[in-house]
Chain A
Amino acid sequence: MFTFHHVLFPVDFSSGCQALAPTVRRMVEVWSVDVTLLHAIDEERWLGGRH
């Protein structure tokens, strides 16, 4: 049996991220892994402090 138990899926809601979601759901079906969706809000970037 597969040895992965916990998958991290960082999301930024981009088109690439949305398109990858079915593959991640498929991983859950096949491997019964726990998945953590992590969204990081880069406030500094949005406020114009860094580009």
Chain B
Amino acid sequence: MRRMKAIAGDGPQARYFGFRLERGQPAVRILEYVRAHPIDLVVIPAGGTSRPVGSVADQVLAEASCPVWLDWGAVRCRATTGMDARRVCCALELGECDETVLATAEKMAAELGAELSLIHALPPTAGKPPVYLGEVGIREREVAGAVRRLEWASPPILATGGGDR
């Protein structure tokens, strides 16, 4: 408990912190807590040592019913005291959930004064050999189509220059 109070700090913000000790597998307990309480956001370090995302963060990201702030900066900047969020990366699937995800990311970035980047990954085309992805003309058309969908999904941000492409 002493170590958790140290994380909360002793400033005026400390009164906003509550503490909970659970027994069991961390990912299972975290997900149970999220289901049982009105949690709006889970903030968790990526935590991987041998791979980019640790097993706990990976399971929480996959199964949590609320937004998850997965933080790699905490790992990279572990020696930097007073680190603040400077960049927020929003991954869009160019689907029906994008509007909510994008609005949330935009608010988070704006209120933290962080730079917002939008990212969309093109999946490999099923049934096509790998060389297909190397064919410049076809690939460029795929990229152009994705950019158009991204612009359609995020006109307010792109119009104000608030996002990266």
A and B interact physically: yes
Binding site for B on A (CB under 8 A): 2-45
Task: Knowing A10-B26, A13-B3, A16-B71 are in contact, say whether A4-B41 is a contact too (CB < 8 A).
Answer: yes
Are A8 and B25 touching (Cβ within 8 A)? no
A27 to B26, CA, bound (A): 23
| A48 → B minimal CB distance (Å) | 15
Are A4 and B40 touching (Cβ within 8 A)? yes
Kindly state the interface size class of chain B when it binds its partner: 35 or more
Stretch at the interface among B81-89, B91-99, B131-139, B152-160: B81-89
**Chain A's interface: helix, strand, loop or mixed, by majority?**
mixed
Number of A-B contacts (CB under 8 A): 161
Binding site for A on B (CB under 8 A): 3-4, 7-9, 11, 13, 16-26, 29-30, 33-34, 37-47, 56, 60, 71, 73-75, 77-78, 80-85, 107-108, 111-112
Which residues of chain B are near A5, meaning CB under 8 Å? 38, 40
A38 to B156, CA, bound (A): 37
Are A41 and B22 touching (Cβ within 8 A)? yes
B40 contact from A3, A11, A39, A42, Cβ within 8 A: A3
Which residues of chain B are near A44, meaning CB under 8 Å? 24-25
Task: Knowing A23-B83, A40-B26 are in contact, say whether A10-B74 is a contact too (CB < 8 A).
Answer: no
A21 to B80, CA, bound (A): 12
A-B contact pairs, 15 of them (CB 8 A): A8-B39, A8-B41, A8-B43, A10-B56, A10-B60, A12-B47, A16-B74, A19-B80, A22-B81, A25-B13, A33-B40, A34-B18, A35-B16, A36-B20, A38-B29
